Structure 1
Amino acid sequence: MSSRSHRAWVLALTSIASLMVALDTLIVTVALSTIRSDLGATLEELEWTVTAYSLSLAVLLMTGSALGDRYGRKRLFAIGLLVFTAASAACALAPGIGWLIAARTAQGAGAALLMPLSLAILSAAYPPERRGRAMGIFMGVTGLSVVGGPLLGGAITEGASWEWIFWLNVPLGLLVLPFVLTRIEETRGGDTGLDLPGLVLGTAAAFGLVWGLVRGNVAGWGSAEVVTALVLGAALLGAFVAWERRAPEPMLPLRFFRSRAFSAGNATAFLLTASLFGTLFLIAQFMEIGLGRTPFEAGLRLVPWTGCLMVVAPIAGALVDRLGERPFLVGGLLLQAGGFGWLALIAEPGMAYAPLVAPLVVSGVGIAMAIPATQNSVVGAVPPHMIGKGAGTNTMLRQLGGVFGIAVLVAVFAGWGGYASSQAFTDGFVAALAGAALLALLGAAAGLLIPRRRTTAGAEDGATDRPREVVRS
């Protein structure tokens, strides 16, 4: 297989896998009201249908990335695809909310192999000077899920039943698997060992912190359960850092964080995703509860927002290669904050749809500008044979950001509103949007730390572990 053909197959297959994973993050959003009604779910259980997926995905990401580096990225990618497909069928067969939450947890475990290994396989297949364009196309295809997720989820929920939003993954996963096994070349990371203490400490730390964030809304932020979870998570995180500093073959080389591009790129990704996921959890419900729309109508009215990722991300990815990441990170997050703030100012029960379009587009363009830039900043700051670990770190922090954003913004929503009436829901939604705008502004501030320009010198030199970074004033 020629190099060009191989790259095309890698881009197509990793993009489809990302599409599947992202679709199941987003397709549920417009079905939440129906699931709440059909399964008698509480607000906490409804939150868990989203966060259980993100929780297992976040805490297992570094494990998935490390296993791929050790035993082969293509092999573990294929296993992840099988697990994700089987778990999707289990979601569709769920007789109650507890089963659905458990199956969503298993879905997240499969996604924890697919997401970091998609980025690692794709990044390894492209040279640095062409990687931004590939990342833009990758995110553009992923953007199909952002556009199609709410729209397709609404159509299926309204026309058939919410279970069919999960059945969609089964034929797609079975169709893609043979091509993964035959069209992707096997690659591994630079380390030959497996950092088991790092895996255990890192996974336990992430689980403790995420559990505390998710349970804080219901159990109370000062409760023994939440405080214990957060304290233990922080202590385990400290132990993880201490171990990684002296481990012979660390799961996460801490020297990565000496690079401003790597550190600031990850901080920006965390805050961007926190703002985005927290808003995603509520905005489709606002369309249904606040504006009285059906699930399909809600999904259709989100297209001006979600469609921006598919259209803008490939263009932004190509321009990042020429202009550097910082303008797209800072500018994109400022637009995201401005759009969410604008929505907060005008949202009210029963309002016309037309005034919502402009702020939806503004925030959508900003998100689409920033996402490929964050990924390019991170994977471009590590040497080629460490891309798997760099991509795994980035994906883990993005997912933790999503869980953090949902937990925080749902807490704000519950403090200012609720489901009692359309007015009560809108009051909580407006307060949560203000919080989302603040998170995006913090992300823009972090983006200012990204180097203005980075060279790709030494990109093909696999002999060095040092992050590549040159600042040009």
Structure 2
Amino acid sequence: MASLTGTQRLVVTIAVLASFVTFLDGTVVNVALPAISDELGGGITTQQWVVDAYLITLSALILLAGSLSDAYGRVLIMRIGLIAFGIASVAVAASVDPLMLIVARAGQGAAGALLVPSSLALITATMRGEIQARAIGVWTAFTTAAQLVGPLLGGLFVDFLSWRMVFLINVLPIAITLVLLSRLKLPEHPRGAVVDWASGVLCAAGLGALVFALIEQPRLGWGSPAIWIPAVAGAALLIAFLVRQARVTAPMMPLDMFRVRNFGWGNLATLFVYAALSLNGFVVVVYLQQGAGLSATAAGLANMPVTILMILLSSRAGALAGKYGPRIFMTAGPILMGCGALLLLTVAIEFNYWWQVLPSMIVMGLGLSLTVAPLTAAILGSIDESRSGIASAVNNAVSRVAGLLVVAMISTIVGGMLDLNGFHSAALVTAGLMAAGGIVSWIGIRRIPAEAAAAEADV
């Protein structure tokens, strides 16, 4: 990245490390779920809540955090998020029962919400055009690798130390990021403290109620008032949230941004692709332990081909997308990942990783490498720099909500039990979601010249 200035290199490093913390913690937990369930109890329902408690607050508050980032300055918000995330991580590691663990995970999600939009906004605020696409490619390679290497690190900690230590992995990157952040000197121009707190409450309450209904529905049934009342209330609160966004002067999620073609269609593609990634990430790691009988470390190692391919290819894909446009990459990548998901249908009772899982991981890794950097660049590059914080927050919120909802529906998708049939059902759903992401990208994504992006963002 010789074309970047020293300050831009520092920005990319800080953005990578700050995002690494949240992306790592969002996936490292998957491999620890069986060990958590063995020690604290609760079965698949508790496992779903451990994942979704983090995603509820992260998804709901990441929009608010985007506004805070633009209102008070990205560096300040990032610093607060790093410190809060460290404190919440210690609380997770010290949990003595499922309730304490779930509450602490929600705290982690709230702190993580402050990190991702502010970190990516640092890149979009200091770089444009092909340089920005290349920088986002580097950011994507390492942050996505954090998601993919998380199961391996988690497996090693679970097998040789404790599942509690899994949540302390991020202490070192937090400390390093805080030091580097103190050295970053950027002129920040906060727009003022106009933050829509009421919308934050509507979004968080709506998502929380809806997810509660989806997770508990297989146990209680849709006919139970404990299910349909939260479901209806959650949907009503989310509708109220959208109505409010159209009316307030400083919305958390400016709906006019969705009139920008690449932003609107790109976020729809994000919804499908990240729902599929979340479903696949949860099901594969847990099934390899509980169904195929692998150790936590071996289950984590299963994802290494994807990680290696992401590190090797993602930056290059981002640069090529900046040169040739993102449409072909965002179409071919998800469809290729869908083919990789279908290869998981070869998994049988007589389990063999090398013939049944490895081919899928290789194909998924190639597809993911083609997809993520062009997707991020297409969406954020279409929005003016002055709204980079909220644009990043919206895109990240979409990806988190996608994961949140699909994890809440896992019991329904796998038929209540993650056995071989349930595993195959999840693979089919994953393939369908990936295909939808590719089709949406082909229909909606267009190459926008850098000089025209700002004009379209103001439409």
Tell me the TM-score normalized by structure 1: 0.91
After TM superposition, give the deviation of residue 337 of structure 1 in Å. 0.8
Say which SS state the counterpart of residue 448 (structure 1) adopts: helix
Q: Secondary structure at the match of 1:27?
A: helix
- Separation in 1 of the partners of 2:44 and 2:205? 26
Does the 8 Å contact 2:334/2:434 carry over to 1? yes
Is the 1:51–1:403 Cα contact (8 Å) retained in structure 2?
yes
- Aligned counterpart, 2:442: 448
1:184 positional shift: 5.0
Task: For 1:402-441, list aligned pairs within 5 A.
Answer: 402-415=403-416, 417-418=417-418, 425-441=419-435
In 2, Cα distance between equivalents of 1:440 and 1:30: 23
CA–CA distance in structure 1, aligned partners of residues 278 and 410 of structure 2: 9
Judged with a 3 Å threshold, the aligned counterparts in structure 2 of structure 1 residues 123 and 88 are, in CA distance, closer, same or farther, namely same
Contact persistence 2:154–2:300 (CA under 8 A): yes
State the shift of 1:375 in Å.
Answer: 1.3
Preserved CA contact (<8 Å) 1:143 1:307:
no
Q: CA deviation at 1:27?
A: 1.3
* Partner Cα separation in structure 2 for residue 128 and residue 412 of structure 1: 41
State the alpha-carbon separation in 2 of the partners of residues 283 and 275 from structure 1: 12
Cα contact 1:264–1:447 (8 A) shared by 2: yes
* Structure 2: gaps (5+ residues): none
Structure 1's 327 and 98: CA in aligned 2 closer, same or farther, altered over 3 A?
A: same
In 2, Cα distance between the equivalents of 1:140 and 1:184? 25
Give the conservation status (yes or no) of the 8 Å contact 1:77–1:114: yes
Contact 1:335 1:363 in 2 (8 A): yes
- Between stretches 233-242 and 150-159, larger displacement belongs to 233-242
Q: For residue 235 of structure 1, what is the amino acid of its counterpart?
A: A
Structure 1 residues 48 and 134: alpha-carbon distance in aligned structure 2, compared to 1, 3 A threshold: same
Question: Residue 84 of structure 1: CA displacement?
Answer: 0.6
Deviations 1:267-313, CA, capped at 9 Å, x for gaps: 11111111111111111122222322111111122211333322221
Q: Tell me the equivalent position of 2:115.
A: 114
1:264-279 equivalences in 2 (<5 Å): 264-279=265-280
Deviations 1:160-184 (A, max 9, x none): 1111111222233123213213315
Structure 1 unpaired stretches of 5+: 419-424
Supply the AA of the counterpart residue of 1:238.
Answer: I
Q: Percent identity?
A: 29
Partner of 1:68: 69
Shift of 1:5: 1.3
1:65-115 residue CA offsets vs partner (Å, 9 max, x unmatched): 111111111101100001111111111111222211111111001100001
SS in 1 for 2:450: coil
Shift of 1:3: 7.8
| 1:350 equivalent in alignment to 2:350 | yes
Which deviates the most, 185-194 or 314-323?
Answer: 185-194
Give the match's secondary structure for 1:363. helix
TM-score by length of 2: 0.93
CA pair 95-255 structure 1, distance change in 2 beyond 3 A: same
- Give aligned pairs, total: 456
Relative to structure 1, is the Cα distance of residues 456 and 53 closer, same or farther in structure 2, using a 3 angstrom cutoff?
same
Asked if the contact 2:130–2:319 (Cα under 8 Å) also holds between the matched residues in 1, the reply is no
Residue number in structure 1 paired with 2:232: 231
Report Cα offsets for 1:350-390 as digits up to 9, x if no partner. Answer: 32111121121111221222111221121112111011111
Residues 57 and 204 in structure 2, CA contact (< 8 A), matched pair in contact too: no
Cα distance, 1:31–1:243 mapped onto 2, change above 3 Å: closer
Secondary structure of 1:331's aligned partner: helix
Distance 1:347-1:317 versus aligned 2 partners, 3 A rule: same
Asked whether the 8 Å contact 1:72–1:186 carries over to 2, the reply is no
Indicate the residue corresponding to 1:370 in structure 2. Answer: 371
**Root mean square deviation of aligned Cα:** 2.1
> 1:422 aligns to what?
none
Name the CA shift for 1:147/1:62 in 2 (closer, same or farther; >3 Å).
Answer: closer
Matches within 5 A, 1:18-167: 18-167=19-168
Deviations 1:226-255 (A, max 9, x none): 333333333233333333323223332221
Secondary structure at the aligned position of 1:349 is classed as coil
Change (3 A) 1:199 1:32: closer
Q: Is the 8 A contact 2:69 2:117 kept in 1?
A: no
Contact 2:68 2:193 in 1 (8 A): no
Mapping of 1:307-386 within 5 angstroms? 307-344=308-345, 346-355=346-355, 356-386=357-387
SS in 2 for 1:390: helix
Distance 1:445 1:247 in 2: 34
Q: Which residue of 1 aligns with 2:298?
A: 297
Give the Å deviation of 1:32.
Answer: 1.4
- The superposition leaves residues 96-155 of structure 1 with CA deviations (integer Å, 9 ceiling, x where unpaired) of 222111111110011000011111112111123311111110011113323421111111
Instruction: Name the SS of the counterpart of 1:350 in structure 2.
Output: coil
